[in-house]
Amino acid sequence: DDEAKKDEIYTKTEAYCNKIMEIKPVATAYLTLGNIRMNQKKYQEAIDYYDQVNDLQNIVDVNKALAYRELGRIAGEKEQNLVKSQELLSKSLKLNDKDAETWFLLGVSHGVAGNHQQAAEFFEKAYTVNPTPDYAKNAIMAYKNLGNETKVAYFQSLLNGK
């Protein structure tokens, strides 16, 4: 009977996937389990497994973004290659634009290149993502270089808690 054979294959495949998941959750196992549930017409369970794949993809993107950030840092600090640094940092932001350190490094890179307007904007973005005194101080420095006293006063007031 074909149905019995299918069920046996699904059961074995599911058991293998569960073994894999015990060792390390991987997207392919979640995807396979989702596909099994689709074939079994258990649609909500399929969706739940597919959501796990998306969660893993988000984790992968954040980690990949960190790797690009660190390559960008090395390109700028060790290799003094600003173009390469900015390209790598931009790739990082495409994957995760909520990392203040990447915005900060992009600001440093543009500041070193003499593009103070761009540097100031990136420092401000870093501060927006993670409002720490260091990011505010960098924004103040960049806006001072531009002669933008309004922005300098604004960030100074943030530092002074006013």
Q: Are 36 and 11 in contact (CB under 8 A)?
A: no
Q: Are 34 and 53 in contact (CB under 8 A)?
A: yes
| 50: CB partners within 8 A, 6+ apart | 30, 31, 34
pLDDT per residue rounded down to tens, the chain (162 residues): 888 888 888 888 888 888 887 887 788 888 888 998 998 899 999 999 888 887 778 888 888 999 999 999 999 999 999 999 999 999 999 999 999 999 999 999 999 999 999 999 999 999 999 999 999 999 999 999 999 999 999 999 998 886
SS (H, E, C) the chain: CHHHHHHHHHHHHHHHHHHHHHHCCCHHHHHHHHHHHHHCCCHHHHHHHHHHHHHHHHHHHHHHHHHHHHHHHHHHHCCCCHHHHHHHHHHHHHHCCCCHHHHHHHHHHHHHCCCHHHHHHHHHHHHHHCCCHHHHHHHHHHHHHHCCHHHHHHHHHHHCCC
pTM of the model: 0.72
Residue 27 is predicted with a pLDDT of 82
- Both structure tokens of 86: 């900015």
Q: Per-residue b/e over 107-132, b at no fewer than 16 CB within 10 Å?
A: bbbbbeeebbebbbbbbbbbbebeee
Residue 162 is predicted with a pLDDT of 60
Residue 159: Cβ within 10 Å count:
12
